[in-house]
Amino acid sequence: MEVITGAGRNCVKLLRVIQPSLVLAGPETSVLTTQQFRERHTKHWNPKWKKLRREKFVKVDLPNFEEKNDEIPKEVLRSRMKERGVLPPRPWFERSFYISCTGGIFEPYVPPEGDGKKSFISSTGAKQKFEFLEKKSKSMLAVRKIRSYEEDFDTTQFATEAQDIYIKAHQLMAEKNKYAIREVISERAYPEMMHNIRDKTIHWKFLQSLEPPRVVHARCTDLITKENIFAQVTVRFHTQQILAIYDRFGRLMHGSETLPKDVLEYVVFEKHIANEYGVWRLHEKIIPDWMPAKQPAPITFRIEEEPEQPLEAIEAAKEEKVEQVEAGKGGEGSKEKLIAA
Amino acid sequence: MSGLAKQFSRLLAIRCIPNGVRQILPVQALHTTNVLDKNWNTANTGPRKWLQYNKVVHPPQEPHEEPRNAYVCHMKTNIKYSPDKMWYIASFVRGMTVDEAVKQLSFILRKGAKYAKETILEAQKIAVERHNVEFKSNLWIAESFVGKGRYFRGVRRHARGRTGEVEYKHCHYFVRLEEGQPPKDYYLPAPKTPQEQFDEWMEGMRKRKITHTL
């Protein structure tokens, strides 16, 4: 700490320069680099009294409220715990995993380009239709598999059922009903749907289907054991909806209360068919690569520039990657390492 | 187990202790930790309500309504500074724009100014990042006040073997930023212009009642 001393008549004036605290890290720190403050300057000029002045007070060990738990160095933490006779917490090595839903889509459906715009009568439309039929064989197998567990499974009937699930999930999301929504969406979809509704009000309305919903894709896969089968069915929805998103203060952020929009979506539904009590739940939405860019938000905002990484760090990261790849080639033992990394 | 049996078993237990071994309390039963430390003192939670205002969701507005101003509440707890001294700084920045407050605070030679400035800048950042505030300069300090934090007692030596009590004070600093421009007069209405004064006098003169006249 820099100390600027200026001798007064019979006292020492002190102007201290505070270093920026660790609280604010980022571009703001440059503003806070120097903040001066004046100490009391009513002390006797002769330093021989300093000791006596100090001895007037009994030293109290004050806690430092400014320090943050995760910023305390390891050695300091260790010495403090020793002082208090506390054992360090048990390290948490267990990896939790959930087995009532899968973590993604397996063999995802690839939506044909320009879908929803081209009519079936046009040449490209007809071609797409043909290709669609071609790819169907694998889906047929999966549907047969689903039927072996769920006897009255019918793709046309399921499409309407899926639409009900779809509508219910979105309604519950708009209501922010975090308990009921768990019954219609899978645990994978839950954080995605619930994260962005915090502090917002969503008005969502389902108007009509422009085309009847249809099953376009079906797949089955097993996890851990052979009998533990999950079924995923992709349903194509071409619908009209109204969406208006308001921020915390009730100001419109996105969409409109009156303007209906045509929405084409490929929604994946999943069911744990090995489970007797399994239900069809909304799992994920497929967003094709050819989808046009999203409409930008109406407000202006600043794009945060990422700090440039020094060359050494990039090279180090590259080396690590190479090592990982090599380890992956090694065998099963090293695969675990990869997962851990 | 009946009371008598309980007593009997207790007697037995006492007999089991070998002679000469003194029962002392286990170390864990003694309060050996630093009682002042925040992390080991569950009673010390600090202010809880202020940040809850950030979670209030207002109902959507109609298109013709004037858009509601965004606001954000922020605080800094347990600053090692006296609340009495911090009060001057808190009331100083009230009703200023954020930019003005930050500028002014950097020239105040009091320790609390640093904390106030930090809090305001943090609040500004939060407002832009999380509360849909479009322009970070379009904010003003709607509320700025101080709360009492934790006080620690110490002892001070006086002459003739006397002692005094010292308080080591901590304070909380609370701030609420609101979107828009600050009001012209935050505290008091502005002094009247000569014309206004004249009009008021004229009005008073015309309204006066003269007794025993028509």
Domain locations in chain A as residue ranges: 1-55, 123-286
Q: What's the domain range around B152?
A: 47-57+67-203
The structural domain count of chain B equals 1
Q: Say how many C-beta atoms besides its own lie within 10 A of residue B26's C-beta.
A: 7
- Residue in chain A nearest B152 by alpha carbon: A62
Q: Is the pLDDT of residue B1 over 80?
A: no
The reply to whether B211 falls in a domain is no
Task: Give the DSSP H or E segment for A144.
Answer: helix A136-149
Q: Is the pLDDT of residue B8 over 90?
A: no
**Chain A window 160-219: which residues touch B at a Cβ cutoff of 8 Å?**
199-201, 203
Query: What pLDDT was estimated at residue A7?
Result: 39
* Residue A51 Cα to chain centre, angstroms: 58
Q: Is the pLDDT of residue A289 over 60?
A: yes
Name every residue whose Cβ is closer than 8 Å to that of residue A275 and which is 6 or more positions away in sequence.
A100
> Which of A125-129, A279-283, B22-26, B129-133 is predicted least confidently?
B22-26
Task: Name which residue leads in pLDDT, A123 or A90.
Answer: A90
How far apart are alpha carbons A158 and A165 in whole angstroms? 10
Q: Is the pLDDT of residue B122 over 90?
A: yes
A211: three-class secondary structure by DSSP? strand
Contacts of A81 in chain B (CB under 8 A): none
Answer yes or no: do A28 and B121 touch at CB < 8 A: yes
Tell me the whole-structure pTM to 2 decimals. Answer: 0.74
The reply to whether B90 falls in a domain is yes
Name every residue whose Cβ is closer than 8 Å to that of residue A84 and which is 6 or more positions away in sequence.
B32, B33, B34, B40
How far apart are alpha carbons A18 and A210 in whole angstroms? 66
Answer yes or no: do A84 and B40 touch at CB < 8 A: yes
Tell me the average pLDDT across B172-201.
Answer: 94
Give me the CATH code for the A123-286 domain, please.
3.10.450.240
How far apart are alpha carbons A322 and A317 in whole angstroms? 9
The model's pLDDT over A153-192, given as tens digits with 9 standing for 90+, comes to 998 999 999 999 999 999 999 999 999 999 999 999 999 9
The reply to whether B172 falls in a domain is yes
Query: What pLDDT was estimated at residue A191?
Result: 93
Token pair belonging to B6: 């309980």
How far apart are alpha carbons A258 and A242 in whole angstroms? 7
Task: Give the DSSP H or E segment for A134.
Answer: helix A123-134
Q: Is the pLDDT of residue A8 over 80?
A: no
The reply to whether B32 falls in a domain is no
CA atoms B33, B38, B39, B40: torsion sign = positive
Distance of residue B141 Cα from the nearest chain A Cα, in angstroms: 18
Contacts of B103 in chain A (CB under 8 A): none
The model's pLDDT over B148-176, given as tens digits with 9 standing for 90+, comes to 998 999 999 999 999 999 999 999 999 99
Task: Name which residue leads in pLDDT, B70 or A43.
Answer: B70
The reply to whether B96 falls in a domain is yes
CATH number for position B175: 3.90.470.10
Task: Name which residue leads in pLDDT, B45 or A215.
Answer: A215
Q: Say how many C-beta atoms besides its own lie within 10 A of residue B57's C-beta.
A: 15
Asked if B170 contacts A285 with a C-beta cutoff of 8 angstroms, the reply is: no
Answer yes or no: do A37 and B34 touch at CB < 8 A: no
Asked if B46 contacts B172 with a C-beta cutoff of 8 angstroms, the reply is: yes
**Of A62, A248, A253, which is closest to B57 when you measure between CB atoms?**
A248
Kindly state the DSSP code that residue A185 receives in the 8-state scheme: B
Question: Letter for the amino acid at B76?
Answer: K
Query: What pLDDT was estimated at residue B4?
Result: 46
| Phi and psi at residue A287, to the nearest 5° | -110, 110
- Mutation target among B44, B118, B126 for the A interface, most CBs of A within 10 A: B118
Contacts of B51 in chain A (CB under 8 A): none
The reply to whether B41 falls in a domain is no
Name every residue whose Cβ is closer than 8 Å to that of residue A319 and which is 6 or more positions away in sequence.
none
The reply to whether B115 falls in a domain is yes
* Backbone torsion region of residue B57, taken as left when φ is above 0, otherwise alpha when ψ lies between -120 and 50, otherwise beta: beta
B133: three-class secondary structure by DSSP? coil
Q: Does ipTM surpass 0.95 in this model?
A: no
How far apart are alpha carbons B23 and B29 in whole angstroms? 13
Q: Is the pLDDT of residue A226 over 70?
A: yes
The model's pLDDT over A103-149, given as tens digits with 9 standing for 90+, comes to 889 888 888 877 766 555 566 566 666 556 556 788 889 999 999 99
**Of B38, B60, B106, which is closest to A250 when you measure between CB atoms?**
B60
The model's pLDDT over B62-94, given as tens digits with 9 standing for 90+, comes to 989 999 999 999 999 999 999 999 999 999 999
Q: Where are the beta strands (DSSP E) in B45-191?
A: 71-79, 139-157, 163-179
